[in-house]
């Protein structure tokens, strides 16, 4: 246990950079602006948090009138655990098998279960931060509005601490089983990519199965029971029901039974993960860094052709970006995750009984308001395309090899053109995915979809360039785990906050235009012109910024 605690402490310090941050801020008096920026970012989230809490209060009132208030807890726990499972697949894969500290860890006199246990603890802490603002407000609103006694609050804290354990342990078991199989092949990277996408598809189909459609008679039966809606939401994933009933029952005899089920189930799955680590972890890890090399003898003509291909600088940089991203499965999977996941989740939500009813209500409320449909669709397309961390980790993904970008005979301003096109292509795929989801799932007409897509494509230029500028200002080049470069990168969070601010600003611009008399096609045209001008300016400024910044970046 002493080795496990030491490894966990070292992993947490490395993960959050506590020692480095303490040295820079408290001793070196450097990067104080990061502390200020973090404070401003937290304050900017308060209005959103307030709106979220108010919405939860309204939802609790509606559910309480139907005697189904426990369903709010079940839904929050189910959503939190599902997202932990989906996103945790790639986080676990990165931490377990692609972290640069593995060569050092496996040389220590530590058992495989101790290495995996320490890494699992680090991932667990990060997932607490992931679900903090989603689940905790639900627990607080339910406890206050239901008038729960003091005993409710320690149980709520315990449920929150145990909430990520089962999905993360399941993700770890799936990843170790996959890596044990793919590591016997020479085409490891390709099989890892295919296997990871297969696991993601399985998780999505599981969600579709958990939220399958119901007949009207079945829905009436569920709603007539005291906690029928809660059972409907979590009937195929019992831990959600155990946790919600534990919070609803408190320290009563049934509540203690659900406590034993939820806590015991979490501990059992965690122990199963540690036991599997002893059998599978090193077998999936050994030889992972080996590369299969194909030797091919080039003729003089082929060699001359390779040096005189006529490829322009931006095309060469674009190709380099694709190779850099494709050679690291973690980068590729995280880059395309939201591009695929958000549209698919919309489709899944519409396929459920509750989701289809909600969408029908939204269609009725939005019918006859073409402008609102266009703007909301455009915002959804932008979210599908730009909120994936690809652009805001462009330079960070290069890591310590960024020196290559500094020495190649291509001006930084031209380099960022190729890098921009790479990120923008992924954003464009996200917009197209959102377009198909809205068309197929919601049946939105082309008269609303096409103007929304035009706005989204132009806004994508502005947001992509802005996100790249954020990463260029302070690239994270000293990472040991590839997941840190894209998921644990503060630049990604800052860029998302900036994107939200830009979109919020355009919301007020559209309101101002409506006040001065613009409406319909005229308002869309003015927004398109403004976005186009800002997009062109953003690319120009990004190139100028790169020319000045490249020489000052230390690798």
Mean pLDDT of the chain, nearest integer = 77
Q: 468 or 231, which is more confident?
A: 468
Per-domain residue ranges of the chain = 17-65, 67-287, 313-555
- Please report the pLDDT score of residue 348 as a whole number: 63
- Please report the pLDDT score of residue 540 as a whole number: 93
Q: Which tens digit of pLDDT belongs to each residue from 241-255?
A: 888 888 888 888 888
- Location of structure tokens 């399941």: 170
- Residue 397 and residue 485 in contact, taking contact as beta carbons nearer than 8 Å: yes
178: pLDDT confidence band, cut at 50, 70 and 90?
confident
**Averaged pLDDT, 384-403:** 85
- Please report the pLDDT score of residue 352 as a whole number: 54
Instruction: Give the long-range contacts of residues 59-68, CB within 8 A, separation 24 or more.
Output: 60/141, 60/142, 60/145, 60/146, 61/145, 63/229, 64/145, 64/146, 66/223, 66/229, 67/226, 68/223, 68/227, 68/228, 68/229, 68/230
**Averaged pLDDT, 12-16:** 69
What is the rounded CA–CA span in Å between residue 286 and residue 493? Answer: 34
pLDDT at 33 exceeding the cut of 50: yes
Q: Which tens digit of pLDDT belongs to each residue from 127-151?
A: 888 788 889 999 999 999 988 889 8
- Please report the pLDDT score of residue 520 as a whole number: 81
Q: 169 or 357, which is more confident?
A: 169
pLDDT at 2 exceeding the cut of 70: yes
Q: Which tens digit of pLDDT belongs to each residue from 494-515?
A: 888 888 888 888 888 888 988 8
Q: Count of alpha carbons within 13 Å of 365, Cβ hemisphere only?
A: 8
- Please report the pLDDT score of residue 354 as a whole number: 47
Name every residue whose Cβ is closer than 8 Å to that of residue 381 and which is 6 or more positions away in sequence.
Answer: 430, 431, 434, 435, 438, 452, 453, 455, 456
- Location of structure tokens 């390779």: 306
pLDDT at 188 exceeding the cut of 60: no
Q: 385 or 329, which is more confident?
A: 385
- Please report the pLDDT score of residue 228 as a whole number: 52
pLDDT at 437 exceeding the cut of 60: yes
| Pick from 382, 370, 376: nearest CA to 424 | 382
Tell me, yes or no, if the pTM score tops 0.75: no
358: pLDDT confidence band, cut at 50, 70 and 90?
very low
| Pick from 385, 454, 453: nearest CA to 423 | 385
- Please report the pLDDT score of residue 464 as a whole number: 94
Q: Which tens digit of pLDDT belongs to each residue from 95-107?
A: 887 776 777 777 7
**Averaged pLDDT, 274-303:** 63
The pair of three-digit structure tokens given for residue 424, joined into one six-digit string: 């923008």
Q: 465 or 281, which is more confident?
A: 465
What is the rounded CA–CA span in Å between residue 414 and residue 411? Answer: 5
């Amino acid at each position: 246990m002493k080795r496990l605690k030491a490894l966990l402490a070292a992993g947490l310090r490395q993960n959050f950079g506590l020692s480095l941050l303490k040295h820079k801020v408290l001793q070196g008096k450097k990067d104080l602006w990061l502390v200020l920026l973090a404070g401003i970012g937290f304050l900017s989230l308060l209005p959103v948090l307030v709106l979220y809490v108010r919405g939860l209060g309204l939802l609790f009132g509606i559910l309480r009138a139907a005697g189904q208030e426990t369903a709010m807890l079940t839904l929050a726990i189910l959503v939190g655990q599902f997202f932990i499972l989906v996103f945790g697949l790639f986080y676990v894969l990165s931490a377990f098998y692609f972290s640069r500290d593995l060569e050092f860890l496996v040389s220590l006199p530590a058992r495989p279960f101790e290495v995996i246990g320490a890494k699992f603890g680090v991932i667990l802490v990060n997932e607490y931060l992931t679900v903090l603002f989603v689940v905790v407000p639900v627990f607080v609103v339910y406890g206050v509005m239901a008038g729960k006694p003091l005993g409710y609050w320690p149980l709520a804290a315990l449920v929150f601490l145990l909430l990520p354990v089962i999905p993360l342990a399941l993700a770890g078991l799936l990843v170790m089983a996959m890596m044990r199989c793919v590591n016997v092949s020479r085409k490891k990277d390709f099989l890892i990519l295919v296997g990871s996408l297969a696991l993601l598809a399985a998780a999505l189909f599981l969600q579709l199965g958990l939220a399958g459609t119901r007949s009207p008679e079945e829905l009436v039966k569920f709603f007539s029971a005291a906690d029928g809606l809660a059972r409907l939401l979590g009937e195929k994933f019992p831990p959600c029901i155990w946790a919600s009933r534990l919070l609803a029952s408190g320290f009563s005899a049934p509540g203690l039974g659900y406590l034993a089920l939820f806590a015991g189930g979490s501990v059992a799955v965690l122990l199963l993960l540690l036991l599997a680590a002893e059998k599978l972890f090193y077998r999936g890890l050994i030889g992972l860094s080996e590369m299969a090399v194909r030797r091919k003898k080039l003729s003089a003509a082929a060699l001359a052709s390779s040096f005189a291909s006529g490829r322009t600088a931006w095309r060469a940089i674009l190709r380099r970006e694709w190779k850099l991203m494709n050679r690291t499965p973690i980068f590729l999977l995280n880059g395309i995750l939201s591009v695929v996941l958000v549209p698919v989740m919309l489709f899944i939500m519409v396929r459920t009984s509750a989701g289809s009813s909600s969408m029908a209500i939204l269609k009725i409320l939005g019918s006859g308001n073409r402008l609102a449909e266009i703007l909301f669709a455009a915002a959804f397309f932008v979210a599908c395309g730009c909120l994936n961390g690809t652009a805001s980790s462009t330079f960070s993904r290069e890591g310590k090899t960024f020196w290559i970008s500094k020495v190649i005979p291509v001006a930084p301003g031209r380099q960022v053109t190729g890098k921009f096109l790479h990120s923008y292509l992924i954003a464009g795929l996200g917009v197209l995915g959102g377009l198909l989801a809205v068309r197929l799932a919601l049946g939105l007409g082309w008269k609303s979809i096409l103007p929304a897509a035009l706005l989204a494509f132009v806004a994508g230029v502005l947001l992509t360039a802005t996100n790249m500028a954020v990463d260029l200002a302070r690239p994270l080049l000293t990472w040991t785990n590839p997941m840190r470069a894209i998921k644990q990168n503060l630049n990604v969070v800052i860029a998302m906050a900036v994107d939200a601010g830009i979109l919020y600003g355009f919301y007020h611009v559209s309101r101002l235009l409506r006040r001065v008399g613009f409406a319909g096609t005229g308002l869309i045209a003015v927004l398109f012109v403004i976005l186009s001008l800002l997009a062109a300016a953003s690319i120009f400024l990004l190139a100028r910024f790169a020319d000045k910044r490249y020489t000052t970046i230390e690798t």
